[in-house]
Structure 1
Amino acid sequence: MQLRSILLFVLCWSGALSSFAVHFPGDSARFSAGLAGGTLGYGVEGAWRLNHRWQFRLGFTRVAYKKPFDVDANKESTFHLQPLVRMNLLHAGANWVPFRKSSFYLTGGLALQIDPSYSVSGNTLTGLHVDAINISPEEFGQARLSLKWWPVIPHLGLGFGRAVPKKRIGVSFEMGCHYLGSPKINFWTDGLVESTTLPDQIPKIEHNMRNYSYLPYLMLYVRYRLPDRN
């Protein structure tokens, strides 16, 4: 699924559903579309207000990082690292407002990771020179380490603001945490590291990383309340 199609789907979500709005006694349905930004990246979101306590949300966020950098082992040796971090989340959830006259809410839902990548590749252009040890770049070779978590991840959080603003424009702030599951590690190398015991230590490393299963987040939303459908 291409990102352009996902973004278009979310942007059209509120308008499409408004054609099928269900009216409840004393409290008609309302819709909004908005922009999101924060530690989960940037994206778009649509929301539907069922009543004064419940709002339902569907959105998409993306964050990516792939800028290479060098790490000096000593004055003569440098490692070149190439990260590839890509997190695309298609999320659906609901807000519950416990106090009618307050904008405070509790939220929860599920997010689908689309084509994720959490990896780093490394080599050395200078070789490795430590005391009497001299390893050429060809002998050192390349190595790649990647992590994989659950494809569908739940989340819980709280925030201030309304998924469907009372006025035309509204701002809301949200903080919470995703549960990613236990990570799985994939390690590949074609050089010197292959002859060491490091590849055999992967199960132990996975066990030690079992507590790295939580992803806290902070997000800011700017929303536009769509015109009411008569």
Structure 2
Amino acid sequence: MDQSERKNAIAVSFGSPGIGFEFARKLGSKLTARVAYHTFNLKDYEVKDVSIGSEKVSILGNLETQAWDFGAEYAPFTNSSFKLTFGLGILSNVNLNAKVNYQEDITYGDVTVAAANVGHILIDSKWSGTAPFLGIGFGRAVPKNRIGLSFEFGTYFASSPEVNLDATKLLGPTKDQEADLQDAFETLKFIPRAQIKLAIKL
């Protein structure tokens, strides 16, 4: 079969939603339907020497993403690889948490508290449900040649995450700030959607 007659493609992508696997079918000269699955898992990523006021803390982070995309791309210009991407994402699991520990002992007047006895703060945030997405890019989901490379930049429009706050030992009273933290996260409704993709025409 001639390459120009092939209408399907599979692809692998790398970017902010994680590693993705996609199937695409060309519906017309400008419109292509796409279905993709994204997944990513980062465990125990540690950042040290973070300053909070005059204190030094370490942050241990975990990130997990699992999402399905059902959408399409529209290429308005025949002789250009520019495209618009749009659709609906299903966020089956997008979870980010961070554990904050003091690195150094804390001194109050003549009293010194060992860092291990100060306790920790754990912030857990989770996005779920459906999230429309919109973006722009260059390159085709079903490439003109056998293999094609494309780039996309956009965002999911998600609902606010569910946030849980836990604190132990001397930091225990911090748990009372959970409602304020939830309010602070209300603005985090835009999840970046940027990726590079390698497609193979079938």
- TM (norm. structure 2) is 0.83
SS of alignment partner, residue 98 of structure 1: coil
Q: What's the offset of the Cα at 1:137?
A: 4.2
Distance of 1:46 and 1:218 partners within structure 2: 18
Task: Give 1 or 2 for the bigger CA radius of gyration.
Answer: 1
How far apart are the structure 2 equivalents of 1:108 and 1:149?
A: 20
**Which residue does the alignment assign to 1:141?**
119
**CA distance change for structure 1 residues 72 and 56 in 2, over 3 Å: closer, same or farther?**
closer
Secondary structure, in 3 states, of the residue corresponding to 2:128? coil
Q: Residue 59 of structure 1 aligns with which residue?
A: 36
1:57 Cα shift?
0.8
* Residue identity (%): 24
What per-residue deviation string (whole Å, max 9, x for no partner) do you get for residues 105-145 of structure 1? 21111222334320012334654335544223453223311
Alignment of 1:80-119 (within 5 A): 80-119=58-97
Q: Does 1:206 align with 2:178?
A: no
**Match in the other structure for 2:200:** 224
Corresponding residue to 2:13 among 13, 36, 41: 36
Q: 2:100 aligns with which of 101, 107, 122?
A: 122
2:7 and 2:158 mapped to 1: Cα distance? 32
Compared with structure 1, are the counterparts of its residues 72 and 182 closer, same or farther at alpha carbon in structure 2 (3 Å cutoff)? closer
The question of whether the paired residues in 2 share the 8 Å contact of 1:68 and 1:82 is answered with yes
The residue that corresponds to 1:7 in the other structure is none
Unaligned runs of 5+ in 1: 1-26
Q: Which stretch shifts more, 141-150 or 49-58?
A: 141-150
Give the whole-Å Cα distance in 2 for the aligned partners of 1:175 and 1:97: 15
Amino acid of the structure 1 residue aligned with 2:181: I
- The residue aligned with 1:8 is none
- State how far apart, in whole Å, the 1-side matches of 2:188 and 2:57 are: 26
The unaligned stretches of length 5 or more in structure 2 are none
Contact 2:6 2:201 in 1 (8 A): no
C-alpha change, 1:113 and 1:132, in structure 2 (3 Å) is farther
1:177 to partner: Cα distance: 1.0
Q: Which has the higher contact order (CA 8 A, sep 6+)?
A: 2
Contact 2:82 2:137 in 1 (8 A): yes
One-letter identity of the residue aligned with 1:201: Q
Q: Which moved more, 1:147-156 or 1:163-172?
A: 147-156
TM-fit CA distance, 1:36: 0.7
Q: Provide the TM-score with structure 1 as the length reference.
A: 0.74
Of 60-69 and 146-155, more deviation after overlay is shown by: 60-69
Alpha-carbon separation, structure 1, partners of 2:14 and 2:114: 45
- The residue that corresponds to 1:22 in the other structure is none
Match of 2:129 among 151, 155, 167: 151
Partner of residue 71 from structure 1, selected from 49, 56, 59: 49
Residue 65 of structure 2 aligns with an amino acid whose one-letter code is M
Task: Pick the structure with more strand per residue.
Answer: 2
Residues 28 and 50, structure 1, Cα contact 8 Å, conserved in 2 = no
What is the rounded CA distance, in whole Å, between the counterparts of 1:140 and 1:167 in structure 2? 61
